[in-house]
Amino acid sequence: MADLKAEAVIPFENIGSYLEQILASLAAHSLMLRPDGDGYIITSSFGGTAWLHASDTDLRLKVEAENPASFNRFKHALTSLVDFVARGENLTIDWQGDSPGAALPPDLHTLNVHTVRDVTPFIRRIAFEGSGLGAFDVPDQLHCRLLFPQKEAGTPEWPRLGDNGRLIWPDAGTLASRIYTIRRIDPVADVLEVDFFMHGGTGPGVQWAAGARKGDVAGILGPAAHGPKPAAWYLLAGDETGLPGIARILEDLPASAEGIALIETSDTGEKQDIDGPPGIEIRWLYRDGAAPGSTRLLADAARDIALPVPYDDIFLWLGTEYATFRELRLYWRKELGVPAARMVTYSHWRRGMSEDDIAEAGAQAVTA
């Protein structure tokens, strides 16, 4: 029997315009949904159970869990994802019920840099050591959030989860963080690798990776974001930000898999060795000096591929800049009629916007 209970009734007259996207966002963040009457039961890897019910005028959320960490983590997941998807609605999400106090996220792990090496001139691979990293070895959840404490700050102070479903940052201030793909993971050795695209920007992830040394400390939360589904034929497409996901998917697919992978990079110096199935052709696309997100290279190449029919045994995965993401997602879904269940698409970034800008704008900045 759960010891802790809370409920939020959110006035939301426009819920019908957002419900599908809210459910998809929850499912993409390690939350398992199953229909329950006219609502949904939600479970998670970090413990607890939640219920979601949408009426014509409101969205009702309920959470139960046995410990404060799982309880507040569940409230945070629901609060942050609903708020992000429906940012323009200025929702009031007020949790009523038990208040056990702030707690560290149950999925927070501390990492130490093990090795740093440059795979290509623009891709830096950092291997991290930790404890219990097998929790991130989830083929259907490829992404993580890395937290970057200042190196001169000493022992890191991590954010906690408050009773209102919001993060409480340490007294030292908000920790810089960014979302990355887990490129490879060894759950037995408790080592995971992350590829950083060293694009020359000033973001906290790039700056931290540029100075990373053995023993440096970072935090990790997650995992999240959908990976591949079983299929007879695959199309994987992305730029430098999608490359780690494509490579991980290829290396995990069965040897019998067939299809095409389209990978856009700056030039031939960025080509990597990827141990994928022999039946999947990897096509490298080079911008030849053009800036990321400034060409139609990937979009045109993807449009030129004739997808096998019927579409119920194919799988499409896309990770790229917003403009290409939006065009291809709409092309596949609206023009070709590929079922939503047979594709996973991500806008990993948007030209002219930082991740902080996107977080402030909400989901409308990176969805089609």
CATH number where 250 lies: 3.40.50.80
Residues 246 and 329 in one domain: yes
Residues 273 and 214 in one domain: no
C-alpha distance from residue 305 to each of 47, 52, 193, 283, 349 (Å):
43, 40, 32, 12, 24
In a domain, 298, yes or no: yes
- Written as one letter, the residue type at 9 is V
In a domain, 102, yes or no: no
Residues 82 and 123 in one domain: no
Residues 61 and 181 in one domain: no
What is the C-alpha to C-alpha distance for residues 269 and 198, in angstroms, rounded to an integer?
14
| Among 331, 304, 316, CA closest to 234 | 316
Which CATH number is 26's domain given? 3.30.310.50
Residues 241 and 350 in one domain: yes
In a domain, 212, yes or no: yes
pLDDT of residue 153: 67
Residues 251 and 204 in one domain: no
Residues 81 and 121 in one domain: no
What is the C-alpha to C-alpha distance for residues 189 and 206, in angstroms, rounded to an integer?
26
pLDDT of residue 2: 67
In a domain, 20, yes or no: yes
In a domain, 103, yes or no: no
In a domain, 202, yes or no: yes
Residues 149 and 268 in one domain: no
pLDDT < 70 stretches in the chain: 1-2, 153, 173
Which of 192, 226, 260 is the C-terminal boundary of a domain? 226
Looking up tokens 């200025």 gives 90
- List the structure tokens of 248: 């991980």
Which of 97, 126, 158 is the C-terminal boundary of a domain? 97
Which CATH number is 184's domain given? 2.40.30.10
| Total domains, the chain | 3
| Among 148, 167, 205, CA closest to 349 | 205
Which of 38, 72, 97 is the C-terminal boundary of a domain? 97
What is the C-alpha to C-alpha distance for residues 22 and 26, in angstroms, rounded to an integer?
6
Can you state the angle between helices 68-85 and 19-27, rounded to 10 degrees? 140
Residues 241 and 346 in one domain: yes
Residues 237 and 361 in one domain: yes
Residues 203 and 318 in one domain: no
pLDDT of residue 203: 86
| Among 332, 339, 282, CA closest to 303 | 332
Host domain of residue 208: 109-226
Residues 165 and 206 in one domain: yes
Beta carbons within 8 Å of 360's beta carbon, 6+ residues apart:
none
What is the C-alpha to C-alpha distance for residues 366 and 212, in angstroms, rounded to an integer?
29
In a domain, 41, yes or no: yes
In a domain, 75, yes or no: yes
- List the structure tokens of 343: 């594709």
Q: CB–CB of 222/145 below 8 Å?
A: yes
